[in-house]
């Protein structure tokens, strides 16, 4: 098995170090901590990984895997564009062809990433079906894969889809938590009290949580509350969904009474998805992880606050995790420690945020 293949592991390890820039720093956000006046806040800086988000951890691993399997072509879906960029990068690095599927709604709000993918040599296919977002891009990628399975590897971008994707993507992302654990032990001499991460499909959160699941550490996953659960315009599968079977796995799902999949809304394209990784459903039902949500407005406020206080522009996805931190930290004592997964950087969102604020760039 590849998981135990020494050559594969060494190749991946070397590229993580020399190409991705791992380990990513665990940064103590002093000014944000002082501003909130409660728990110490650390940021796991996945935004500093090559291509600007945690997505490269998985895309690189799967690109190497595809190469080993003798595949000639990579395909992937993307919402925010980060996974598309990461896959296009992995394809360029390994010399494989690459096609990315992306909903037209997401193409409009993430045009910068679309251009980046093209620069990296990938073809971007616009998906104009359904809600024109991530789930529709996944449908189209799965259709492509069904057709071209002999030559093509589908780089699923999150801990979702048919087996073995949820487990494989988790294993590639678990490096986040392994590093964070080592780093916090070094800087604080103890484990944190809380981990907080945003949950779209759920790969950055599983990546952070995985190594802490057996430790005495509280964990919070933050979904997209959009315009509010009561409006129906959100992507909070735990708060507003029920169990279903979709795109190859059984999990919580936003669906109507007849089992059709509902449209979703989030200010962040990466969280705008109707279902969630099945392992998250398990962690929710077992009570090991608590899931909550942040609204568009809360995420936008957190986005601006981090930029002002720390000089870091977070991805809108990660801003959801920060929004929960803003609620939680002030009520905790100064001895408490929170690690927030800063899963991506916000450059891709700058134009979109300006548009929301009515600013012409």
Q: Does 164 bind another protein (CB under 8 A)?
A: no
Indicate if 268 belongs to the active site. Answer: no
**Of positions 143, 182, 288, 355, contacts another protein by CB under 8 A:** 143
Beta strand 194-198 with 249-253: parallel, antiparallel or unpaired? unpaired
Question: Whose CA is closest to 104, among 81, 74, 121?
Answer: 81
Whether the CB-CB separation of 201 and 266 falls below 8 Å is answered with no
Active-site residue, selected from the candidate residues 40, 181, 343, 348: 343
CA distance 80 to 251: 22
Q: Cβ 258 to another protein, closest distance in Å?
A: 4
**String of contacts with another protein for each residue 248-287, x by CB under 8 A:** x----x-x-xxxxx--------------------------
Contacts made by residues 297-300, CB under 8 angstroms, sequence distance 24+: 298/225, 298/323, 298/326, 299/224, 299/267, 299/268, 299/323, 300/267, 300/353, 300/356
**Of positions 147, 216, 286, 333, contacts another protein by CB under 8 A:** 147
Positions 96 through 135 that interact with another protein (CB under 8 A): 129-130, 135
User: Measured from the CB atom, is 121 or 263 closer to another protein?
Assistant: 263
Active-site residue, selected from the candidate residues 77, 179, 279, 324: 77
Q: Does 354 bind another protein (CB under 8 A)?
A: no
Whether the CB-CB separation of 348 and 110 falls below 8 Å is answered with yes
Q: Cβ 216 to another protein, closest distance in Å?
A: 35
User: Measured from the CB atom, is 25 or 130 closer to another protein?
Assistant: 130
Q: Is 331 exposed, middle or buried (0-12, 13-18, 19+ CB in 10 A)?
A: exposed
Indicate if 327 belongs to the active site. Answer: no
Whether the CB-CB separation of 134 and 101 falls below 8 Å is answered with no
Positions 31 through 70 that interact with another protein (CB under 8 A): none
Question: Whose CA is closest to 106, among 126, 76, 86?
Answer: 126
Cα angle at 108 between 170 and 95, to 5 degrees?
A: 50
Indicate if 123 belongs to the active site. Answer: no
**Of positions 5, 37, 146, 308, contacts another protein by CB under 8 A:** 146
**Of positions 1, 3, 18, 150, contacts another protein by CB under 8 A:** 150
Q: Does 142 bind another protein (CB under 8 A)?
A: yes
Q: Cβ 248 to another protein, closest distance in Å?
A: 7
Beta bridge partners of 44: 26, 341
Show which residues are catalytic.
55, 77, 343
Positions in the binding site for another protein (CB under 8 A): 129-130, 135-136, 139, 142-143, 146-150, 244-248, 253, 255, 257-261
């Amino acid at each position: 098995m590849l998981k135990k293949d020494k050559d594969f592991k060494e190749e991946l390890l070397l590229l993580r170090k020399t190409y991705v820039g791992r380990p990513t720093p665990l940064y103590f956000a002093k000014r944000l901590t002082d501003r909130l006046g409660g728990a110490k806040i650390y940021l796991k800086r996945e935004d500093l990984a090559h291509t600007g988000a945690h997505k490269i951890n998985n895309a690189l691993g799967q690109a190497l895997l595809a190469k080993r399997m003798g595949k000639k072509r990579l395909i992937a879906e993307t919402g925010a564009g980060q996974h598309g960029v990461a896959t296009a990068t992995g394809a360029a690095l390994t010399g494989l062809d690459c096609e990315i599927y992306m909903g037209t709604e997401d193409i409009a709000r993430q045009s910068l990433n679309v251009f980046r993918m093209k620069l990296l040599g990938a073809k971007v296919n616009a998906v104009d079906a359904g809600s024109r977002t991530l789930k529709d891009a996944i449908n189209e990628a799965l259709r492509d894969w069904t057709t071209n399975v002999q030559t093509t590897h589908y780089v699923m971008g999150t801990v979702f889809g048919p087996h073995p994707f949820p487990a494989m993507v988790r294993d590639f992302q678990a490096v986040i938590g392994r590093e964070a654990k080592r780093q916090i032990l070094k800087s604080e001499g103890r484990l944190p009290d809380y981990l907080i991460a945003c949950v779209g499909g759920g790969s950055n959160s599983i990546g952070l949580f995985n190594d802490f699941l057996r430790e005495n550490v509280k964990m919070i996953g933050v979904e997209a509350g959009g315009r509010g659960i009561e409006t129906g315009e959100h992507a909070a599968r735990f708060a507003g969904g029920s169990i279903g079977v979709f795109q190859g796995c059984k999990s919580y799902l936003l669906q109507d009474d007849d089992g059709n999949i509902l449209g979703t809304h989030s200010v962040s394209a990466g969280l705008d998805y109707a279902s969630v990784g099945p392992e998250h459903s398990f962690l929710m039902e077992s009570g090991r992880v608590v899931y909550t949500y942040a609204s568009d407005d809360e995420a936008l406020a957190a986005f601006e606050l981090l930029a002002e206080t720390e000089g870091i522009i977070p991805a809108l996805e990660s801003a959801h995790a920060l929004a929960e931190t803003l609620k939680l930290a002030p009520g905790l004592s100064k001895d408490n420690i929170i690690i927030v997964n800063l899963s991506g950087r916000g450059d891709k969102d700058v134009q979109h945020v300006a548009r929301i604020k009515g600013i012409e760039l």
